[in-house]
Every structure is written in structure tokens, then in C-alpha cells.
């Protein structure tokens, strides 16, 4: 069995640092990189911290801390998407208050490695937060091995899900552009997991809203960027070269909206005078885009907090039917429209 010294050696830190990170000690600050190195080492070695008795106050009661794993949604670098990292931050902060801690962080792609999946299943997790829908066989396997699972907008049953209203945010974006006088409105986005673009809720709501407003949707206005900023820029640049630009784009992600802004700037297309752009999520950096990005705010931190509270309640005995918690979104007006 791995020891705390084994974890420290693999993570290139001291055993004291490992202990502070695993116990969420806030007195001595550590960098995010150090923290992630330690958590990766814990996962690789399948290290299980000893659970201590709280002898000072209640000798008969065991420490109530519980361990939680997180499955991040990521198409590129594991920690590259500020949207999901903000949710993770909300989860971690609330778990500290609820008596839990995040001990494992993975992506679905990492769990395709049989050895890593095996270690994950044997990590002794009390709960799991999933930030994306999984292939059904993998989801069923996790459901059979982990006592409590909460989804962030996954749609999986029978688990609790914390969501924002995909249909409403797209309608808000399109109707806002319409109210600003735009009649040629394009879409930038992609599908999620095994769900292709044409079946994604944000895209279907975009199409429905365009139909309700009696607006045409030309195929060349729909850019399936696969959530890749470089591909997004290429698609926008190609649309400029071919003369296929609408007067406005709704990008179903702030990261893709900002990639579109960069591409338009490089092609000497003025925003918003020639083409308007609205994003979705309101990540922190969107306010510093050029121009500052108009977007739909999704309460990511609050989603993480709600997920942590729901999971803690399950760990502590809540046996009610699965919940679907829907959090509100609001429009943030800036200068890109």
C-alpha cells in the first residue's frame, strides 16, 4: 500500500505539503500546479489517507470527511477550460464546508485507459461529480461502483443533475440580436460527448428561435468548431474570404466567441459595426476581449456549490428521488453587439 512519502516523492514535494493539500489546509498556500501534481500522484498510487478518530470531542464518532472524484469536461487540455474550472472551484470550496474533499480529478478520455479506470474504481470514493454526459456503458459501470453521483448538466438518470437552461440561453441570445436589428444570425458551436451538433440543445433552440422569428438559416452560417479555438478561427476566416458572413454570430461558448473575435480582427472585419458577436457563459476573461464580449451569464460557481451540497446530502443519508436543479442565466451587455 502506498504511503504519504510515496505520494510526496512522485509529486516532487514534501510529505507535509501532501498532508496540507489533502486536508485542505488554508494556512500555507500552494500553487494550483502543485496541488494538481499531488492529486495526480494520489490517483496513480491509489493512496488512501488514514481516517482518524476525533478523540478530543467525540471519541465514539469517526471523522466524517468524505472523498469525492470529479470528471472534467475537456476536449483539449485537462485544465484549459475556465468554464469547467470555475464549476470545480465552486465544488471544492463548498465541500470544505460540508466535510468533504476532491481527491481525484480525471477526464472521460483518461478513463479510456484500462489501468487508470481500474485505479479510479478502486479509489474508495464516496461520491462523484460528472461534468459531461458519458457513454452509457461507462456511466453504468461508475453508477454500480460509486455510491453517489451528481451530474453537472449531463441528463443522465437516475442521478441528481445541476443545470442551466440550454434552450433559454440560446433563445435569449438570438432574440437579443434580433432586437438589435439583426436578421442574418449565424451559430458557432458543436455537440457534446456522443451528441452531435444537430442534436445539441443550444443548436436546436437556435434553430427553433430563428424559425419563430421567420428568419432564414443558411448552412454556411453554421460553424461546427468542435470546441477547438483554432478550428473556430479557421472557419470564421474562411467565411470572410468566401463572403458568407451573417451580420451576427451567436457562439455557444465564450471561448469560441473570443476565437471568432480574433479571427474577425485579423481579417479586418469590424465588430460590432460589420459583424456582431454574442457569447455564452460569461467567463472572467470575456470582459477583457477586444471588444468586451456581450454574453449570457451562466452561474458556474453556484452550479459547483449546488452540486457539492447535493452530493454531501446524499453522502449524509438523503434518499429522496433524484433532483433536477435549474439555475438562472442573465444577459450581460458589453460592446461586441
Instruction: List CB contacts of 261: < 8 A, sequence separation 6 or more.
Output: 271, 277, 289, 290, 291, 293, 336
Identify the weakest region by mean pLDDT among 71-75, 271-275, 325-329.
71-75
Mean pLDDT in residue range 203-208: 96
pLDDT tens per residue, range 248-276: 999 999 999 999 999 999 999 999 999 99
Mean pLDDT in residue range 135-144: 92
Q: Which helix (H) or strand (E) holds 5?
A: helix 4-11
Confidence check: pLDDT of 99 > 70: yes
pLDDT tens per residue, range 303-318: 999 999 999 999 999 9
Which grid cell sits at 44?
Answer: 496513480
pLDDT tens per residue, range 280-299: 999 989 999 999 999 999 99
pLDDT band for position 224 (cuts 50, 70, 90): very high
Confidence check: pLDDT of 61 > 50: no
pLDDT-above-90 percentage for the chain: 64
Phi, then psi, of 74 in degrees rounded to 5: -155, 130
Q: What is the pTM of this model?
A: 0.76
Instruction: Compute the mean pLDDT over every residue in the chain, rounded to the nearest whole number.
Output: 88
Mean pLDDT in residue range 144-157: 92
What pLDDT shows up at residue 33? 74
Asked if omega into 291 is within 30° of 0 (cis), the reply is: yes
Confidence check: pLDDT of 321 > 50: yes
**In this structure, are residues 309 and 91 in contact, taking their beta carbons and an 8 Å threshold?**
no
Spell out the domains of the chain, with CATH numbers in brackets. Answer: 1-58 (1.10.260.40), 166-297 (3.40.50.2300)
Which of 102, 31, 36, 73 lies closest to 255 in space, CA to CA?
73
Amino acid at each position: 500500500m502506498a504511503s504519504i512519502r510515496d505520494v510526496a516523492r512522485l509529486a516532487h514535494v514534501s510529505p507535509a505539503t501532501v498532508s496540507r493539500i489533502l486536508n485542505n489546509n488554508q494556512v500555507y498556500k500552494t500553487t494550483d500546479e502543485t496541488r494538481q501534481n499531488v492529486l495526480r500522484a494520489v490517483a496513480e498510487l491509489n493512496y488512501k489517507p488514514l481516517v482518524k478518530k476525533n478523540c478530543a470531542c467525540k471519541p465514539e464518532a469517526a471523522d466524517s470527511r468524505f472523498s469525492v472524484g470529479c470528471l472534467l469536461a475537456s476536449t483539449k487540455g485537462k485544465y484549459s477550460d475556465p468554464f469547467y474550472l470555475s464549476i470545480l472551484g465552486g465544488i471544492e470550496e463548498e465541500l470544505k464546508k460540508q466535510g468533504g474533499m476532491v481527491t481525484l480529478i480525471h477526464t472521460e478520455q483518461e478513463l479510456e485507459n484500462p489501468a487508470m479506470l481500474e485505479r479510479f474504481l478502486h479509489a474508495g470514493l464516496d461520491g462523484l461529480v460528472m461534468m459531461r454526459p458519458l457513454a452509457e456503458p461507462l456511466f453504468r459501470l461508475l453508477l454500480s461502483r460509486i455510491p453517489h453521483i451528481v451530474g453537472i448538466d449531463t441528463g443522465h438518470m437516475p442521478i441528481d443533475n445541476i443545470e442551466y437552461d440550454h434552450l433559454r440561453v440560446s433563445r435569449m441570445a438570438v432574440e437579443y440580436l434580433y432586437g438589435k436589428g439583426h436578421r442574418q444570425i449565424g451559430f458557432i458551436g458543436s455537440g457534446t460527448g456522443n451528441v452531435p451538433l444537430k442534436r445539441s440543445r443550444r443548436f436546436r433552440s437556435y434553430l427553433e428561435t430563428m424559425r419563430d422569428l421567420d428568419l432564414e438559416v443558411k448552412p454556411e452560417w453554421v460553424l461546427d468548431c468542435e470546441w477547438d479555438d483554432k478550428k473556430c478561427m479557421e472557419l470564421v476566416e474562411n467565411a470572410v474570404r468566401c463572403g458568407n458572413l451573417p451580420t451576427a454570430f451567436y457562439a455557444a461558448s465564450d471561448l469560441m466567441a473570443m476565437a471568432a473575435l480574433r479571427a474577425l480582427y485579423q481579417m479586418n472585419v469590424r465588430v460590432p459595426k460589420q459583424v456582431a458577436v454574442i457569447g455564452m457563459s460569461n467567463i472572467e476573461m470575456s470582459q477583457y476581449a477586444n471588444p468586451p464580449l456581450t454574453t449570457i451569464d451562466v452561474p458556474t460557481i453556484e452550479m459547483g456549490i449546488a452540486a457539492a451540497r447535493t452530493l454531501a446530502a446524499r453522502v449524509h443519508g438523503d434518499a429522496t428521488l433524484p433532483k433536477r436543479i435549474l439555475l438562472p442565466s442573465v444577459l450581460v451587455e458589453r460592446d461586441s453587439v
